[in-house]
Structure 1
Amino acid sequence: MRKRIQKQVPDEEQTALSLPVTSEKSSPEHCPDVVSAPPSEKWQPTVDAAILTTSDAVIALKHNFRLLYLNPVAATTLGISAQEAVGKHCTTVLNCKNLNHMMLCGTSSCPLVRALERQSPLPNEELILGADSSHMYEVSTSVNPVKVGKQSTIVFTARDMSAWKVANQVRSNFVSMVSHELRTPLNSVHGFIDLLLQGHMGELTDEQSMYLGYTQEGVQQLVSIVEDILFMTRSDLGQFEVKQEEVRLLSLVRQVMRSLQPQALKAEVALCQDVASSVPSLYIDPQRIKQVLNNLVTNAIKFTPPGGTVTVSAHRYDDTSEMISVSDTGYGIPVEDRPHVFERFYQSNHSQQSKMGGYGLGLSIAKLIVEQHGGFIGFDTVINRGTTFYFTVPLFVPVPET
């Protein structure tokens, strides 16, 4: 697993940007009426006009995050003239935040950093843009690294999502209301089943206990689904926040492993932990990070065959954060599923998915919680050898006494 590091690149003189144009090659033999001319020259005026008149913001940046170009919509949206913006660092103009208002500039979660590291586009990133509080917008962005000669350039397009957000908030409010109304009766059913199993209503036969046990498992699964949907809905509405404090990681990992031991025994999977007692304290919300670990370990158990192993480990990522990993010896993630791993409600067509069940929220919730802590989450996988999910969390820094 490689450590992700943002390279510091010295500032260079600004260069003119010419956006690449893709067009089919034609020849005089096939198109006798077409005047022979380089495709880029032929279509460049049309491309330039499209960029100037599009309703989407188009922003071009150098690899050192200095602005090269803003189209009129981008300048209006950000409340700055194109002439004034060119040459400025993106932090002073774009000031990217995630939807939970967590600053991304200068972190490994910055979409520009990730696009340059991957050297591939990042489509459909949802961000809040704008350094001026009076010009801040929720946008859906596409971040595309482009080679201009020997220089790496980033073309950043953004579409205002305000109207869509209003409709989505109405939907979220409805889902939240329905989920809340479901949770109360489900908890009641779960409680009464528990009383029956404990014999408070009379002694049960083995068969009755077995069927009530199945019923309780089903109700518990429904309660978990409702809780997860409520969690995501509250996050969408901006009602999710973390309560960070000093926490010892080893104690947290032991709690998670102990709670999941019955599930691992049933699946015939061994749970191991490789977390040294010397790991420094973390600055996290213990309940939320426990939720992340629980989701990752549960997922690893589900997709590891009998006789396999799931291991939780930790090591220092950099001076301010610790990296926590959950590794398994399972089936691995198919290539076609990898881009969608963190999408909400995504279900793989892989044969093992239908056997293991699930509803596709666990990894989305894990990503949300990690990013709210200012970290990032990712994975490495090899088919039929296993998968490792890893995420970073901040270290606790004591406040010096004055």
Structure 2
Amino acid sequence: MTFAIADVIPALADALAPFKLSSPLPELLASHDRVTAFEIAREHTRPPLYLDARLTRLFDTRGQLVSAVLMLRDVTDERRERQAQVDFFNLVSHKLRTPLTVLTGYMDVLRGLSPERWGSEAHRILLVCRDEVGRLNDTFLRMLQFKRQADQQRPAGSEASFVGPLLQSVAEDIRERYRGREVELRVLAEPDLAPLDIHPEQLRFALDQILDNAVKFGDKNPVRVAASARGLDTAVEVVVADNGPGIPHEYRDRVFEGFVQIEDIGTGEVPGLGVGLRLAREVITANGGSVALHSVIGQGTEVSVRLPVQAR
């Protein structure tokens, strides 16, 4: 007489029912193979869960099933790293392909111009080519930024940071960077904020990434960004709020993973590599701080940073 696994371990079917299986559950329960390997996934939760499963059936000398052992191994981190690699190559391919396509096209136009048209057209075409080379350069610079942060090449020293002047300075850089767009960027910092226990170069870098992200993904005219800083008991809180499109719920954890940009399609039109918020959070948390994100679709996103003040 042969018993089904569900008869030997009644709870097994109920335990696996809420999960997505790489092999259908009825087939697993009905199989007579000694060992079956499959994957268990719970993708509807955040964060998702992925398990490698190995079901070993134990038979007696008459070939009857007497028990079964289910061994599980958490492979969530491995799946996340593999997906990050896929996201990276997909995103970089878009970022490189678009300017390279433009450059190639305009080179063909230049090659086909008659001598009498060269003077009138060449200047305009070269300006376009210069802009596209700038986009390529921006992509490589951001890749180097990510590499540096991944290698934890942080400046040495215990120099304190004063967030008010730094926030104003970064805001000026952002306005200049996006001078071709309609941007309203306001900064309001409480006076006499305590110095922070983070190197100024690191704080400037983190603030730049957050403010740049807020402006870059703005979908309204004007793009409105408000940056504020206030003192708490033992910390300073910086809040950057924008009127952008908002971040879908399923992306709110992923934007901190890196190589993630939220576009309707992967056009490569938005500059950058989708690593800004990840780099900012790594810098902040490495210095004892925290980063939180709140977003409403169609209304905008708010990023809150808290950093400890320097001990007196």
Q: TM-score per shorter chain, which class?
A: 0.5 to 0.7
Distance 1:335 1:226 in 2: 27
Give the one of 278, 281, 284 matched to 1:364: 278
Question: What are the superposed Cα offsets for residues 53-84 of structure 1, whole Å, 9 maximum, x if unpaired?
Answer: xxxxxxxxxxxxxxxxxxxxxxxxxxxxxxxx
Q: CA deviation at 1:257?
A: 1.0
C-alpha distance 211-279 of structure 1, shift in aligned 2 (>3 A): same
What's the counterpart of residue 248 of structure 2?
Answer: 334
What's the counterpart of residue 306 of structure 1?
Answer: 221
Distance 2:164 2:150 in 1: 31
Trace 1:128-139 onto structure 2 (pairs within 5 A).
none
Work out whether residues 264 and 271 of structure 1, in 8 Å CA contact, stay in contact via their aligned partners in 2: no
Distance 2:266 2:298 in 1: 12
Work out whether residues 320 and 394 of structure 1, in 8 Å CA contact, stay in contact via their aligned partners in 2: yes
Distance 1:345 1:390 in 2: 21
What's the counterpart of residue 288 of structure 1?
Answer: 202
Task: Give the structure with higher Rg (CA).
Answer: 2
TM-score between both structures, scaled by the size of structure 2: 0.58
Question: What are the superposed Cα offsets for residues 246-299 of structure 1, whole Å, 9 maximum, x if unpaired?
Answer: 222111012101111123332211111011222222221111111111111111
Distance 1:349 1:328 in 2: 17
Distance 1:338 1:158 in 2: 26
Trace 1:32-51 onto structure 2 (pairs within 5 A).
39=11
Distance 1:352 1:334 in 2: 16
Trace 1:173-188 onto structure 2 (pairs within 5 A).
none
What's the counterpart of residue 142 of structure 2?
Answer: 225
Aligned length: 213
Work out whether residues 289 and 305 of structure 2, in 8 Å CA contact, stay in contact via their aligned partners in 1: yes
Q: CA deviation at 1:374?
A: 0.7
Amino acid at match of 1:311: A
Q: List runs of 5+ in structure 2 lacking aligned partners.
A: 16-44, 50-71, 86-121
Q: CA deviation at 1:159?
A: 7.2
Give the one of 255, 259, 270 matched to 1:345: 259
Q: CA deviation at 1:383?
A: 0.9
C-alpha distance 383-286 of structure 1, shift in aligned 2 (>3 A): same
Distance 2:265 2:245 in 1: 11
Distance 1:225 1:310 in 2: 22
What's the counterpart of residue 27 of structure 2?
Answer: none
Equivalent pairs: percent with the same residue? 23
Give the one of 374, 378, 395 matched to 2:292: 378
Trace 1:3-402 onto structure 2 (pairs within 5 A).
39=11, 207=124, 210-211=127-128, 213-235=130-152, 239-240=153-154, 243-304=157-218, 305-317=220-232, 319-350=233-264, 355-398=269-312
Work out whether residues 242 and 372 of structure 1, in 8 Å CA contact, stay in contact via their aligned partners in 2: no
Higher mean C-alpha displacement, 368-377 vs 275-284: 275-284
Distance 1:352 1:250 in 2: 37
Runs of 4+ deviating beyond 6 Å: 157-160
SS of equivalent residue, structure 1 residue 356: coil
SS of equivalent residue, structure 2 residue 252: helix
TM-score between both structures, scaled by the size of structure 1: 0.46
Return the structure number with greater relative CO, CA threshold 8 A, min gap 6. Answer: 2
